[in-house]
Amino acid sequence: MSRLQEISLDTVHVRKKKKNKDTWVIIGFIAPAFIIYGVYVIYSIFMTFYYSTFDWTGIDANMVFVGLDNYIQLFQDDVFWTSIQNNFLLVIASLLTQLPVGLIMALLLFSPIKGMRLFRSVYFMPFLMSTVAIGILFIFIYEGNYGLLNAILEGIGLESLQTAWIGKESTAIWAVIATVCWQFAPFYMILFRATMVGIPEELYEAADIDGASGWQRFKSITLPLLKPIIITSAILSVIGSLKYFDLIYVMTGGGPNNSTELMATYMYKQTFTNFNMGYGSSISFSMFIIAFIVTVFILLGDRSTRGNG
Amino acid sequence: MLKAIKGIPLYLLALFLFIVTGLPFLIMFLTSFKGQMEFMTSPWSFPESFSLDNYKLLAELQFFGYFANSLVVSVVSVIIVILIAAMASYPLARLKFRLNRPIFILFMVGMMIPIHTTLVPIFILTNKMGLYDSLFGLIGPYIAFALPISIVIFTQFMRDIPKELEESAKMDGCSHLRLFWSIIFPLLTPAVATVAIYNFIHIWNEFIFALVLTNSTQNATLPIGLREFYGEFSVNIPGIMAALTLGSLPLLLVYFIAQEKIVTGLAAGSVKG
């Protein structure tokens, strides 16, 4: 063996040793997070599917394997279809209310209005409140007899519109959607505002020289530069709406007569109220599949628009 | 930015949104000082006096127990999340290895997973571990679901730290652990603030795990406590409003003290995520 070969073998050896050492470092650093995440999230998803193939109350040990029967039953379950429909209604309503309202709020924060600091502070407050607190608060706002909304309607002479907002099937879902918007619009306001702060002032100055109107400035400078954050917000809003639970559970519990039922509230009801853990698991696994498919579609759509633009 | 659109309609719009966002808070706050009789006769008027009776009632009813539980769970979870998420992000951001990308994506996917999909297995697992109805039982899931966004934020942030820093340290024979702990971690302060704020808000207000994994009043967190008050008080609406006010107060106070930090921190986390 020549001396040269010996040296190169040596360096290979050293490199290998170093690589080995790095492997242990990598494992050591990632392991704590990976184990907790693996047990509570990854393992749980597989187990949810496993449980969904049983007829099982969750209390006694008696688990009867039923294959995909729970899913067959689910496809014939009207309440489940209602809940999917409501979830997608919530998705569309969230996109059409939260994002535009958030955008308007963010734009207002940049206009030369006196007291803007106070406005901004208050605009953001709903996002900090716990959903349970918001739910309880809005129960009293929508209340049929003395509720704030009805009191205001009376004050401005629209008594004819007064109703028990969350007690009636026709209005309940809209009342809840409005509340969800109230809670989340401030969050998107913050995201939009953070991006607007980064738009260089020179762009607007140049537009001013060209004599652009306010709307033109918005359309040809602000909006295009906001596009990436609007897409991010849309993804957050869609996924958030598909797994929504808290507010509905607190305000209506899915009622009246399942008119505000969502997949998550129905899953909770089946699992922890009716003790159909197997059936409930088939609902929650379906939620996962739906969220997964929608995410993939959004990401693919996002990629293709980026490719063209 | 909107200089061209003239002032008055704009101001009216701003004022309208101000009222819509602010009025529920004002009503909640003012109602909390009323007596039940006063509320019945004039539910939406200004209170006759600022009586603290409702708050005294809350103090007698274990309210501060819920408060303490929420504080413990939130603080412990956030600290652990910061530590282990920052650690996991270190190799993901700064070392090359074959599974780097797949592991990062696996963590990232966690952001779209509905909590409900994991609810039954976590419920059963928590029971088996003997952690049902304890604060410890909540910390595990809270950490697990806070990891994805935290790791994404930390990894993005660490990628921007110049490589030269650690190369010189490596020359001196510095181990990865020391490198991480004494060079990288101290540089993460802005990212740590973002991660802490983002997760604290979410864990402080978390509802579904607390609902499923705890049972006794003694181990309930604030959102569960609020719901219990709502059930028990039913007719004492000013009492409920006092509970809501007190429950919302901590985050609102912190917000008014460190507004700029919280707002930019939240935005930074989500924009990058």
Q: What percent of chain B has pLDDT over 90?
A: 43
Q: How confident is the model at residue A16 (pLDDT cuts 50, 70, 90)?
A: low
| Minimum distance, in Å, between the CA of residue A271 and any CA atom of chain B | 8
**Are residues A239 and A169 part of one domain?**
yes
CA distance A50 to chain B (A): 10
**Residues A15, A86 within the same domain:** no
Tokens, residue A55: 């007829």
Local confidence band at A45 (pLDDT 50, 70, 90 cut-offs): very high
Cβ-in-10-Å burial (0-12, 13-18, 19+) of A151 comes to middle
Could you give the CA distance from residue B41 to residue B262 in angstroms, rounded to a whole number? 41
B102 in reach of chain A (CB within 8 A) = no
On whether any CB of chain B is under 8 Å from the CB of A123, the answer is yes
Mean pLDDT of chain B: 87
Note whether A196 and A297 are same-domain residues.
yes
Residue B154 at interface with chain A, using a CB cutoff of 8 Å: no
The least confident of A228-232, A262-266, B256-260 is: B256-260
| Residue in chain A lying closest to B223 (CA) | A132
A289/B contact by beta carbon, under 8 A? no
Q: Going by C-beta distance under 8 Å and a sequence separation of 6 or more, which residues neighbour residue A195? A: A225, A226, A228, A229, B271
Q: B127 with A278: CB under 8 angstroms?
A: no
The confidence score (pLDDT) of residue B228 equals 87
Q: Cα–Cα distance between B193 and B88 in angstroms, integer?
A: 17
Contact A40/B247, CB-based, under 8 Å?
no
Q: Are A138 and A237 within one domain?
A: yes
Q: pLDDT tens-digit profile of A255-307?
A: 788 889 999 999 999 999 999 999 999 999 999 999 999 988 888 877 776 65
B positions 30-89 inside 8 Å of A (CB): 43-44, 84-85, 87-88
Q: Which residues contact B238 (CB under 8 A, 6 or more apart)?
A: B31, B32, B33, B34, B35, B36, B38, B39, B54
Residue A188, in any domain of the structure? yes
A49 touches chain B (CB under 8 A): no
Q: Are residues A163 and A122 in the same domain?
A: yes
- CA of A26 vs chain B CAs: smallest distance (Å): 6
Kindly provide the b/e burial profile for residues A181-217, where b requires at least 16 CB atoms within 10 angstroms of the residue's own CB: bbbbbbbbbbbbbbbbeeeeeeebeebeeeebebeeb
Range in A118-127, A187-196, B232-241 the model is least confident about: B232-241
If asked whether residues A82 and A172 sit together in one domain, one would say yes
Mark residue B133 as left, alpha or beta (left: phi above 0; alpha: psi -120 to 50; beta: remaining). left
Are B244 and B223 a contacting pair, CB within 8 Å?
Answer: no
- Which of chain B's residues have a Cβ under 8 Å away from the Cβ of A113? 7, 10-11, 14
Asked whether residue A60 is domain-assigned, the answer is no
Mean pLDDT, residues B24-29: 91
- Please indicate, yes or no, if residue A287 is contained in any of the structural domains: yes
- Residue A29 counted as domain residue: yes
Q: Number of helices (H) and strands (E), helices first, in chain A?
A: 14, 2
Q: Does the residue A63 lie in any domain? A: no
Say yes or no: A232 and A153 in one domain: yes
Residues B47-104 pLDDT 10s: 888 888 888 888 888 888 998 999 999 999 999 999 999 999 999 998 888 899 999 9
Same domain flag for A286 and A194: yes
List the single residue in A with minimal CA-CA distance to B114.
A243
Best CA proximity match to A26, nearest among B102, B38, B266: B102
Is residue A66 one of the residues assigned to a domain?
no
Residue A252 has pLDDT above 80, yes or no: yes
B204 CB neighbours in chain A (<8 A) are 130
Confidence at residue A3, expressed as pLDDT on a 0 to 100 scale? 55
Q: Judge if A23 and A134 occupy the same domain.
A: no
The DSSP element (H or E) to which A65 belongs, if any, is strand A64-65
CATH number of residue A143's parent domain: 1.10.3720.10
Question: Does residue B210 have a pLDDT over 70?
Answer: yes
In SS3 terms, B30-77 reads as HHCCCCHHHHHHCCCCCCCCCCCHHHHHHHHCCHHHHHHHHHHHHHHH
A161 and A264 fall within a common domain: yes
Whether A1 shows a pLDDT value over 50: the answer reads no
Contact B205 A37 (CB under 8 A): no
pLDDT at B233 over 50: yes
- Full domain range(s) for residue A8: 3-51
Among residues A103, A83, A87, A107, which one has the least CA distance to residue A184?
Answer: A103
Q: Specify the number of domains making up chain A.
A: 2
Q: What domains appear along chain B, each with residue ranges and CATH number?
A: 7-53 (no CATH), 62-233 (1.10.3720.10)
Do residues A177 and A89 touch, judged by C-beta distance below 8 A?
Answer: yes
Residue A193 has pLDDT above 80, yes or no: yes
Closest to B183 measured CA to CA, from B166, B195, B170: B166
d(CA B218, CA A132): 19
CA–CA gap between residue B221 and residue B258 (Å, rounded): 24
Q: If pLDDT is split at 50, 70 and 90, which confidence band does A12 have?
A: low
Angstrom distance (rounded) from CA A300 to CA B18: 38
Based on the fold, state whether residues A149 and A20 are members of the same structural domain: no
- Contact yes or no for A182 and B21 at CB 8 A: yes
Top residue of A57, A140, A201 to mutate, by most chain B CBs within 10 Å, is: A140
Backbone angles phi, psi at A65, to 5 degrees: -70, 125
Cβ-proximal residues to B65 (8 Å cutoff; 6+ apart), any chain: B217, B218, B225
A277, A58 in Cβ contact below 8 A? yes
Taking residues A8-23, what's their average pLDDT?
61
Buried b (16+ CB within 10 A) or exposed e, A272-285: beeebbbbbbbbbb
Q: Which of A104, A137, A157, A94 is nearest to B22 (CA)?
A: A137
Which residues of chain B make contact with A232, given a CB cutoff of 8 A? 270-271, 273
> Contacts of residue A136 in chain B, CB cutoff 8 Å?
226-227, 230, 240, 244
Last residue of a domain, one of A15, A34, A51: A51
Residue A62 burial (CB count, 10 A): 9
Instruction: Report the C-alpha gap between B272 and B87 in whole angstroms.
Output: 19
Residue A57 lies in a domain: no
Q: What is residue B4's predicted lDDT score, i.e. its pLDDT? A: 47
Tell me the sheet residues that pair with A65.
A54
Which residues from B are below 8 Å from A215, CB to CB?
4-5
Distance separating the N- and C-terminal Cα atoms of chain B: 27
Residue A192 lies in a domain: yes
Q: How confident is the model at residue B7 (pLDDT cuts 50, 70, 90)?
A: low
User: Complex ipTM, two decimals?
Assistant: 0.89
Residues A45, A89, single domain; the answer is no
**What average pLDDT does this structure show over B225-229?**
88
Q: What pLDDT was estimated at residue A22?
A: 80
B positions 186-205 inside 8 Å of A (CB): 201, 204-205
CB contact under 8 A, B4 and A111: no
